[in-house]
Amino acid sequence: MNKVVEVVPDKEALIRRAVDVVLSKIEGAIQANGRCTIALAGGSTPKPLYEAIATFDLAWNNIHVFWGDERYVSPEHPDSNQRMARLAWLDKVDIPEANIHPMPTDGSSPTADADKHQAQLYEFFGIPVGEFPHFDVILLGIGDDGHTASLFPHTEALQVKDRLVTVGNKDGQPRITFTSSLINHANCVMFLVAGAGKRAALAQIFAPEADPQTYPARLIQPQGELWWLLDESAGQDLKH
């Protein structure tokens, strides 16, 4: 694993740096493989990143967009990660609808929809059941509690290692989420972290020893590149 930790002065600098890195990863993947597969994060931190990417003239036919997790709500719901990314980015560019691969949230149950999305991933990547695809880029954030995607502390989703997609749980509210195993097979995983409220969790995530069941972001140790981009408020204790 190639780990990069960068602390930049503020949120605006964080987004500028993220834009540079994400665009380079997208373009590199298209040059190498003819396409780029990117999984998006929800939350407020990446929204300006998506808005910025929407201003570039990219090879949209060659970019496939997924999500690392999703709340179990309709795509029109204000809390939907898909809705946020569509409004900030995807609705503003000429990307084919067939290249957008949201997590289904309209089936009989979260479990059934997690199974459905897992099957969709196997089909898209053309791999047999039991293998893991290699996303080109997976964007993540962390919560004040140390969770990432919908991998929350001391929840069953943390124990799932043999699946691509599973059901997460946030205070009794179901989510659909990539598993840590799937995330760890990515070519590049990038955390975007802003705000002083993340400092306590980051101290544990970066500590030599701490419990990943309590701080699930510790589970993310990808085989490819691991980027931590942090603003000064979040990352001031991590400067080397």
Q: In the 3-class helix/strand/coil scheme, how is the chain assigned residue by residue?
A: CEEEEEEECCHHHHHHHHHHHHHHHHHHHHHHHCCEEEEECCCCCCHHHHHHHCCCCCCHHHEEEEECEEECCCCCCCCCHHHHHHHHCHHHCCCCHHHECCCCCCCCCHHHHHHHHHHHHHHHHCCCCCCCCCCCEEEECCCCCCCECCECCCCHHHHCCCCCEEEEEECCEEEEEECHHHHHCCCEEEEEECCHHHHHHHHHHCCCCCCCCCCHHHHCCCCCEEEEEEEHHHHHHHCC
- pTM check: above 0.85: yes
Convert the pLDDT of each residue in 33-71 to its tens digit.
Answer: 999 999 999 999 999 999 999 999 999 999 999 999 999
pLDDT of amino acid 170: 94
Convert the pLDDT of each residue in 144-183 to its tens digit.
Answer: 999 999 999 999 999 999 999 999 999 999 999 999 999 9
Domain ranges for the chain: 1-32+42-234
Residues 107-116: what's their mean pLDDT? 95
Cα 56 from Cα 164, distance rounded (Å) = 31
Question: What is the chain's mean pLDDT, rounded?
Answer: 97
Whether pLDDT at 240 is above 80: no
Half-sphere exposure in the Cβ direction for 134 (13 Å, CA):
9
| Residue 224's pLDDT band (cuts 50, 70, 90) | very high
Convert the pLDDT of each residue in 18-28 to its tens digit.
Answer: 999 999 999 99
Convert the pLDDT of each residue in 191-205 to its tens digit.
Answer: 999 999 999 999 999
pLDDT of amino acid 65: 98
pLDDT of amino acid 1: 78
Identity of the amino acid at 193: V
Pick the CATH number of 1-32+42-234 from 3.40.50.1360, 3.20.20.140, 1.10.150.670, 3.30.70.20: 3.40.50.1360
